[in-house]
Amino acid sequence: MRKKFIFYGQVQGVGFRFRVMMLAKKFDIFGWIENNHDRSVTLVAEGLEENIESLVDRLKDYFQNNIENIKESIEKDEGLIDFEIK
């Protein structure tokens, strides 16, 4: 499964991308994460649905005071084999 998330709020400059990368490796998720010009952050995650949901749940817990909103969509798998910070 592949999902795209856009996180809104105070998600830049707080270690958000690094935390996502660490969790992605823990949950065997591939994809990428990058800062956007509007101060949001985009995450593309490929892996088991329950692992992706666990990653997002952990982010919601850890950054509960930073995340104001999350936009989520399902995308076509690309067969990614790594996770990177862009």
* Residues involved in catalysis: 17, 35
Judge residue 18's burial from the number of C-beta atoms within 10 Å of its C-beta, 0-12 exposed, 13-18 middle, 19 or more buried.
exposed
**Could you tell me the CA-to-CA distances from 26 to 22, 30, 65, 80 in Å, in that order?**
6, 11, 23, 16
Q: What token pair was written down for 65?
A: 């005071």
